[in-house]
Amino acid sequence: MAKVNGPFMSLSASGTFGNTLTASIWKGRPYMRQRVTPSNPSSAGQITVRKYLGSLAKAARSVLTSYMDDHAEGSQFFQDARDSAPAGQSWISWLQRYAKDVYDKTLAHWA
């Protein structure tokens, strides 16, 4: 059941209406969206992607960035990734895209 404080959508609302609309607040602003029941597939492909992204996230966390370095340079890995990223794109998003392309090519080679 949804809870509404004040006139509809003027102050705040939260919850689901009639199993079709969900009301919530994002960054201090009320909004409504269609109710979606999330799914969590356990297909082989989904598990592979989760493992891949999890490994990449763990590896990126251990990279010594310029913010963590006393000399404000960062590790050689960080410098290479930062310098390879196109202008306007963060090094980590570029690295994820690059690594995914390499991973896809490797899978295509094995198939």
| Buried/exposed 74-111: b ≥16 CB within 10 Å, e otherwise | beebbeebbeebeeeeebbeebbeebeeeeeeeeeeee
How many angstroms separate the CA atoms of 96 and 79, rounded?
Answer: 16
**99 and 56 in contact (C-beta within 8 Å)?**
yes
- Closest by alpha carbon to 61, among 73, 75, 47? 75
Mean pLDDT of 10-22: 77
Condensed to tens digits (0 to 9), the pLDDT of residues 65-93 reads 766 667 777 778 778 888 888 888 888 88
pTM of the model as a whole: 0.39
User: How sure is the predictor about 13, in pLDDT bands with cuts at 50, 70 and 90?
Assistant: confident
